[in-house]
A and B are shown apart, each in its own frame.
Chain A
Amino acid sequence: MDLSVKIGTLTLPNPLIAASGCFGYGVEYSDVVDLATLGGVAVKGLFLAEREGHPPPRIVETPAGMLNAIGLQGIGVHRFIREKLPELRDRRAIVFVNICGTTLDEYVELAQILSDSEGVAALELNISCPNIKEGGITFGCNLPATHAVVSAVRKVTSLPVIPKLTPNVTDVASFARAAEEAGADAVSLVNTFLAMAIDVETRRPKLTNIVGGLSGPAIRPIAVRMVYECRRAVRIPIIGMGGIATAADVLEFMIAGATAVQVGTANFVDPFIWRPLLDGLRDYMTRHRITMLSEIVGTLDTSKREQAWISS
């Protein structure tokens, strides 16, 4: 049974990647999961410099989901390379480093620094965080800017370049296309949906940042639809995410067109989720006599349903 998938030049042992922002720097979870058994670990978004992030409360629960406005608190790329990357390397994790800049030059500098670091498997360009004003999302909400940042990073690295797209645009597929044209090896989607929640007793926002990003099972059907739209628009692999909590959810994204997936919020609920997800995928392959899981990518059957005869 072969669960491996290919993202550009990269072969992952299975399609399950821990989503950025939901798995710390990976090392926090080395006690609960053998990192080498994951398809990959997308570490928390990194800027060049350290960042404090937003004051709490940073999360609030909503129906079948949660809002977050962490504000990309992080240790910066240099401390990451010194303090986290060696352990990730020792544990043989396939490391996707999520990078975030306030300017195009910062993305380029981050890409250069990380390309020279042993143990980085791919670069995920965070151009979609909804919670910070500067950088990031300004690249992800504007087609020429998306194209510019992807091609600039493309020029300075041989690592797979994977822009992470925001759903907070009218047409995600056009951004996937811009990324592909600029030389991206894959796209990942979706980041969180900009949202808010209000305490009606106090009339105050439940998050200090007022607005935050919605994740969890609540967003899954929208994310699946967006993956489906992007699949029809681009040829590069898609890494799908949004509310995945079961093996069936993984399969739904793959059938819609995702080559691999990321699991985020569900890891908060169950840090041991990886084993049942893998078991569920194997069970599905057995039941459907599939030897290579990647065969199911983009196999959505949209042929006309047989019409039932309506007796009068």
Chain B
Amino acid sequence: MPCDVDAAVIANTRLSDDYSVLALAAPEIAGLARPGQFVMVKATPGADPLLRRPFSIFEILRDAAGAPTGVSLLNKRIGAATSLLYDVEPGAHVRCLGPLGRPFEPADPPTRAWMIAGGVGLAPFLTLAEALAARRTPATLFYGARRASELYYTQTFAQLGVEIELSTEDGSRGTRGYVTAPLERALRSLPPGERVHLYVCGPTPMMRAVAALALTYGQACDVSLEQVMGCGLGGCYSCVVLTRQHPGATPHFVRSCLDGPVFDADRIVWEALTH
């Protein structure tokens, strides 16, 4: 059962002019959250903007004894609500509803877990990396951004034992170009019979490309989709994604708040995903 918490802002760390990490006091949500789940956040109490916005839970915050105290969100300033949340200061309160949605299922060894993140698509992977570390599943993060200054938290992933493979569109760090190039290289050089589980979150074209690679190389792939959401609880039918129950089946719209945000990449009708 989700909780709605009037969460105090503990910190709002600006990573750049666009990105911030918003830390919220919400022990009830932190205690229930599983990797890849999301929360619905109301930036201001008023009617403008009216609706909440979905955010992946970025970090589970814990006290010195390890008890969950809150969650953090990786916020990218895009529209009205994300701009308000970029500007919010410690001491302010925002309403935070969660945890919501179908989580990632962390792979177990000997399967390797490869997380593929594009830009703000890094958000759901820190909680997954923690779960993978707890299972001792070998994990790699393929992480792409426009430029070096937009690559964040790589040390945190490294501390969890995650191998890091970086790429930037301008070549200022890691491989120049899209994250799919180093991913394909890695897939190609896998020894026969080696299993990897791909987890991907980022821009739609990137996720589509990774899903295609997963299919080509016969590896499992889960995607975390971000759709325009009205409620996060299955009430409004706004956040639908066209999916097939199994290959060849007639596709149907399903709600990404309830059936997702994590989907088996095979189920998605990628041609229909336009945004």
Contact = CB atoms under 8 A, between A and B. Distances in A.
Nearest to A208: B274
B50 A44 contact: no
A24 B252 contact: no
A200 interface: no
A59 B236 contact: yes
Interface string B21-60: 0000000000000000000001000011111100000000
Contacts of A24: 233-237
Nearest to B227: A56
Contact of B4 (A21, A29, A63, A271): A271
A135 B239 CA distance: 25
B47 A56 contact: no
Nearest to A31: B1
B258 A268 contact: no
A61 interface: yes
Interface stretch (A1-9, A65-73, A232-240): A65-73
A66 B52 CA distance: 12
Given A268-B230, A271-B97, A23 B237 contact: no
Given A28-B234, A53-B253, A58 B51 contact: no
Contact of A269 (B2, B50, B242, B252): B50
B51 A268 contact: yes
A271 B235 contact: yes
A31 B252 CA distance: 25
A10 B258 CA distance: 33
B238 interface: yes
Which of A58, A66, A218, A267 counts the most B-chain CB atoms under 10 A from its CB? Answer: A58
A310 interface: no
Interface residues of A, number: 36
Contacts of B95: 270
Given A28-B258, A271-B4, A217 B50 contact: yes
Interface in B234-253: 234-242, 252-253
A70 B236 contact: yes
Contacts of B238: 56-59, 68, 70
Q: Is the interface of A mostly helix, strand, loop or mixed?
A: loop
A32 B233 contact: yes
A159 B48 CA distance: 40
Contacts of B50: 61, 64-66, 216-217, 265, 269
A258 to B, nearest CB: 21
Contacts of A271: 4, 97, 231, 233, 235
Interface in B202-244: 227-228, 230-231, 233-242
A164 B42 CA distance: 31
Nearest to A23: B235
Contacts of A216: 47, 50
Interface in A47-89: 52-53, 55-61, 63-66, 68, 70, 73
B185 interface: no
Interface string A188-226: 000000000000000000000000000011100000000
Nearest to B53: A61
A73 B235 contact: no
A44 B95 CA distance: 27
A259 B40 CA distance: 33
12 contacts: A28-B258, A31-B1, A32-B233, A44-B237, A52-B252, A55-B272, A56-B238, A58-B228, A59-B230, A73-B253, A267-B235, A272-B4
Interface of B: 1-2, 4, 42, 47-52, 95, 97, 227-228, 230-231, 233-242, 252-253, 258, 272, 274-275
Nearest 7 A-B pairs (CB), nearest first? A28-B234, A268-B231, A64-B47, A59-B238, A31-B1, A58-B238, A24-B235
